[in-house]
Amino acid sequence: MIEFKQVNKRYESGQDALKNLSFSIDRGEMAFLTGHSGAGKSTLLKLIMLMERPTSGQVIINQQDLKNCSSRKIPALRRDIGVVFQNHQLLFDRTVFENVALPLVIAGYSQRDIGRRVRAALDKVGLLHKEKQIPIALSGGEQQRVGIARAVVNKPTILLADEPTGNLDPELSSEIMQLFEQFNQVGVTILIASHDLSLIARLPHRMLTLRQGQLLNTPGASL
């Protein structure tokens, strides 16, 4: 589902963000990506979303080699990948409903389908009653759940999350993780970047640990 083959990424500044990185995540797997800040977690996620391109090596998503993905095709690729951001990336001048609906509007769904799917996604994250509110009126945990609803509303096959519990207290964090596990149970491939080791160590999923752009062999519950 997600496969890296000897991927190197060197930024223009000369910094080597990823060095000869190879790994794969199977369809339907849920895995964590950990490491200190600056270890290359964000770069790895950016390569999957084609926000960056590798300096060398192959990134294969859904059997598609991203080398062959021209910038014209990037939007279509991103529609198949749901992303949850640490800073939520919500539109603060739109309602919760409109925020969640955004990927569907972009993909050209009919108004009726949009209404149904957005409400299903909001129901899933427990925010159906707040669909008419503006994100700024919500708590951090609620904003993150809006971000999650938006990430899954288009039924992506892959869900990425970059520090989804970064600013949340332990209880909320564990709720968010449960939510991800529910999506994983229905077949979504999930990769979560997080440095919250105390939280993810309790969960039975594989852990990919990055250090200075390289993968450490860590014992994990590989499927």
Where on the chain is the footprint of other proteins (CB under 8 A)? 49, 51, 75-79, 83, 85, 89-91, 102-103, 105-111, 113, 117, 120, 124, 150, 154-155, 182-183, 185-187
Closest CB to other proteins among residues 100, 192: 100
Paired sense of beta strands 158-162 and 56-61, if any: unpaired
Nearer to other proteins among residue 150 and residue 206 (C-beta): 150
CA distances from 70 to 58, 64, 73, 75, 125 (A): 15, 12, 5, 10, 34
Measured from the CB atom, is 61 or 207 closer to other proteins? Answer: 61
Phi–psi pair at 168, nearest 5 degrees: -110, 155
User: In this structure, what token pair is assigned to residue 42?
Assistant: 């964000």
Q: Least CB distance from residue 40 to other proteins, whole Å?
A: 16
Q: How far is the CB of 102 from other proteins (least distance, A)?
A: 6
N-terminal to C-terminal alpha carbon distance within the chain: 14
Q: Is 61 helix (H, G, I), strand (E, B) or coil?
A: strand
Whose Cβ is closer to other proteins: residue 136's or residue 219's?
Answer: 136
Q: Which candidate, 174, 164, 167, places its Cα nearest to that of 198?
A: 174
Q: Find the shortest distance in angstroms from Cβ 80 to other proteins.
A: 8
Q: Tell me the closest approach of the beta carbon of residue 120 to other proteins, in angstroms.
A: 6
Measured from the CB of residue 214, what is the shortest distance to other proteins in angstroms? Answer: 23
> By C-beta, is 75 or 140 nearer to other proteins?
75
Return the structure tokens found at 57.
């090596």
